[in-house]
Chains A and B, each alone.
Chain A
Amino acid sequence: MTDAAMGTRPIPGEPSAWTRLKTNRNWLGFWFMIPAAAFLLLFLAYPLGLGIWLSLTDARIGRPGQFVGLENFEWLSDDPVFWLSVFNTLLYTGVASVFKFAIGLYLAILLNHHLPFKAFLRAIVLLPFIVPTVLSAIAFWWIYDPQFSIISWTLRQLGLISSNIDFLGDPWNARWSVIFANIWRGVPFVAITLLAGLQTVPPSLYEAATIDGASRWQMFRHITYPLLTPIIAVVMTFSVLFTFTDFQLIWAITRGGPVNATHLMATLSYQRAILGGYLGEGAAIATAMIPFLLAAIMVSWFGLQRRKWQQGEADD
């Protein structure tokens, strides 16, 4: 403590090396960063690089690989299952994100009204996002059961269908089923975040617009939407990113089946690398996801920047 106290006072001559290490901002910053940096370098940055390296080798489980250049990628480019997984991933991400945004925004606007039990409602709405994905995925697995599905039962009772729907046995049914489960899980996050954004919009703007005779749609289009744009950009970046790299929901409901119809790139890479033992090939599939992720980040980042620039805002 006395050392530290000395460090902040003007001391004659050069401070000792030890004092400098303890008080110099750059050194202090360095010490404070060590724990976080150690974790992130060892278990994030290094594996990221190792993954890209692995995608250029023919590593298998239990055997370090030889460098093979782009062979894994050439091999994948001729693999229809890989392209099917790319198609599935894009479909899954595209459809789910659009619906998550639309329903999430709608729900946020609904929750922004004066409602009784507001805090309780908000807590309930957030539940699907909080509960571990795998566990709610299991609930969907049971809801989609070919024989005992409650949806089939209800529709049969209503006389709308005559035989059970094969939710997870037919490729397109399975795709829509997992997409629905993903939307169900993602809507709360979008809704609650946008709700917080809505609450920061000053009510005086709406009052002024009401006096000017603006319709509800005009108010939304010209007040709510522009003010929400930054938050929308961030939320949708996250939403797209996490949907694109989703693994657990698919793994718990379909494991990529039927006949690879719901394999995403992440699940295919798990199957090839860990279950199949072809680490190099699995890593190549994972690496192939990186350009898509970068594109998603760039689009929303630059979209956000342009928006800010248009509004002439220095901060948000």
Chain B
Amino acid sequence: MDYLMSTPRKVVTVYIPLSIIVIVLLFPFYWMAITAIKPNQQLVNLDVVNPYWVSEPTLDHIKALLFDTPYLHWMWNTMLVAIVATFLSIVASVLAAYAIVRLRYRGAQWIGGAIFLAYLVPPSILFIPLSIIVVNYGLWDTPVALMLTYPTILIPFSTWLLMGYFKSIPFELEECALIDGASRWQILTKIILPLAVPGLISAGIFAFTLCWNEFIYALTFISTPQNKTVPVAIVSEFVDGDIYRWGSLMAGALLGSVPVAIVYMFFVNYYVSAMTGAVKE
């Protein structure tokens, strides 16, 4: 019915409201970016120049962030934890999803339901007992604590998502292979996985961004500043008493967002189909 709309009418009912919403959604990023390159005196004296613009951009904040703080170290920690946790989760999820969808063993339905419920258990009610478990296993203040606890957030979603992908692969392919004498493991690695690559990519991206986003476990289980992940470090390490280093804070927030934004820009279509695919399940 779109074609029934005249252009001026479309401007008023679609383009204007859409622009307003998009501007509001993007403004905090713009503000972050512009603060990160503003000289200090422009940051605190709004009357010198229009604060919406920057007259003498400087890279001082970014330089200070990269070279005077352990920022690169935090990036490395976050990356390491995210990659390991994502890898572990995807392996576990592929096996679980294949078993639930294709082996249809006794109780598979119930296990599938249990995994869905696991996704609904929020980290904010688990972090207290988990911190005790982490201490008891001697994992306190190590990245291993995060690598082992993040999969509990990642596995339910990835399994659910991969179940949808596996269901869409024709069963006949598998039957032929079974008749030819392939084992289940061979079917999984040689037939199912190559066909499920888009699903694996979207599950991987989702898992990776969830890791990058995770906060409460990293805040609770890690205490040494060196070992922190980017989100936690930025919130806790940039405030000297009452003095907020806004320039560096914003530069840190911006640089911390960039890796995720880049990964996701490349794969946005997988991402959207993954989210909606999972919802449709």
Contacts and interface: CB of A to CB of B under 8 A. Distances in A.
A111 B276 CA distance: 16
A128 B231 CA distance: 15
A39 B152 contact: yes
Contacts of A290: 125
B93 A36 contact: yes
A29 B128 contact: no
A138 B235 contact: yes
B25 A187 contact: yes
A96 to B, nearest CB: 15
Interface string A278-303: 01001100110110010001000000
Chain A contact residues: over half helix, strand or loop, or mixed?
Answer: helix
Q: How large is the interface on B (under 10, 10 to 19, 20 to 34, 35 or more residues)?
A: 35 or more
B215 A235 contact: no
A152 B220 CA distance: 35
Nearest to A214: B1
| B89, B118, B230, B279: most-surrounded residue (chain A CB, <10 A) | B279
A122 B111 CA distance: 35
B26 to A, nearest CB: 7
Contact of B46 (A30, A153, A282, A289): A153
A127 B29 contact: yes
Given A39-B151, A107-B18, A196-B273, 14 more contacts: A8-B179, A34-B95, A39-B88, A46-B129, A127-B25, A135-B253, A135-B256, A136-B257, A138-B235, A153-B51, A206-B1, A248-B215, A283-B128, A286-B125
Interface of A: 1, 4-5, 7-9, 22-23, 25-26, 28-30, 32-37, 39-40, 43-48, 50-51, 54, 59, 103, 106-107, 110-111, 113-115, 119, 121-128, 130-136, 138-140, 142-143, 145, 147-148, 150, 153, 184, 187-189, 192-193, 196-197, 206-207, 210, 219, 231, 234-235, 241-242, 244-248, 251-252, 266, 269-270, 273-274, 279, 282-283, 286-287, 289-290, 293, 297, 316
- 8 closest residue pairs by CB, A with B: A29-B105, A4-B183, A196-B276, A32-B99, A245-B122, A5-B181, A266-B124, A35-B92
